[in-house]
Amino acid sequence: MKTFDDLGFCKVDTDRETRTGFPEVIFCQGKTTAQIAAIFRRLLDHHGKAMATRLDAAGAQSLSVLFPEARYDAVSRIFSQGGAARRFNGEVLVLCAGTADVPVAEEAAQTAEWMGCRVGRRYDVGVAGIDRLLAYRDEVARAGVLIVVAGMEGALPSVVGGLTGSPVIAVPTSVGYGAHFQGLTPLLTMLTSCAAGVSVVNIDNGFGAAYQASLIMKLAHEGCRHAASLS
């Protein structure tokens, strides 16, 4: 049985939705506009919806002509059409430490929404003014999954991790300078967090954090049906 669609330069994984619950998403960096368009078309034909991340403004302009019903968000750089039919119970709360982290936070928030999550947002709540975070302590405690986005020293996930009994997915950003090394520093900070329950994705990978958050929310939503079938 054929599980992919061969375009030569690309083998579109059309089986992925069956296998993992979500269709393939296009990561645009390093691909030509023509390649993106071809893959987007196949995904759209196959799943009735499609999403592409890290698309720059020029590429968006070209693709909009070909896909007039698609939306482009200039902050998150997401180009998408359609979206999840269902809506999972519970909330994914996206926090970010500073104003400059908003683009990555929005990549996460909009991805999670596209995949079927309800999403809350609290931005610019970095730890150097701890009262800003503490003002939302209840929301933090109540969220199903937390995506915590931070550049600079990346300390926010450690504090958040201590305020919640839900999983925290930390996203370091490339926002900073000097000893920040394009995001290496918050990445290391988050990996060595003294708060248990924090896991980490790649620098600026808002998409990946949202993807995992959505897998978790789906699991919770389905009441662990997979699991149940084991017992």
Nearer to a copy of itself, 10 or 82 (CB): 10
Whichever of 68 and 195 has its CB closer to a copy of itself, that residue is 195
Give the residue, chosen from 47, 49, 71, 142, that forms a contact with a copy of itself under the rule CB under 8 A.
142
Interface segment toward a copy of itself; rule CB under 8 A; list 40-48, 61-69, 77-85, 131-139: 131-139
Residue type, 91: E
Q: What's at 100, amino acid-wise?
A: A
Residue numbers 153-212 binding a copy of itself by CB under 8 A: 153-155, 158-159, 161-169, 172, 174-205, 207-209, 211-212
Asked if residue 143 binds a copy of itself (CB under 8 A), the reply is: yes
Interaction mask 37-76, a copy of itself, x per CB under 8 A: ----------------------------------------
Instruction: List binders of a copy of itself among 211-230 (CB under 8 A).
Output: 211-212, 215-224, 226-230
Binds a copy of itself (CB under 8 A): choice among 51, 118, 119, 148:
118
Q: What is the DSSP string of the chain?
A: ---SEE-SS-EE-TTHHHHHSS---EE-TT--HHHHHHHHHHHHHHHS-EEEES--HHHHHHHHHH-TT-EEETTTTEEEE---SS--SSEEEEEESSGGGHHHHHHHHHHHHHTT-EEEEEES--GGGHHHHHTTHHHHHH-SEEEEEE-TT--HHHHHHTT-SS-EEEEE-S---GGGGGGHHHHHHHHT-SSTTEEE--TT-HHHHHHHHHHHHHHHHTTSHHHHTT-
Nearest distance in Å: CB 4, a copy of itself: 5
Nearer to a copy of itself, 76 or 166 (CB): 166
Q: Provide, rounded to whole angstroms, the least separation between the CB of residue 54 and a copy of itself.
A: 8
CA gyration radius for the chain? 18
Note whether 77 binds a copy of itself by CB under 8 A. no
Total residues interacting with a copy of itself, rule: CB under 8 A: 115
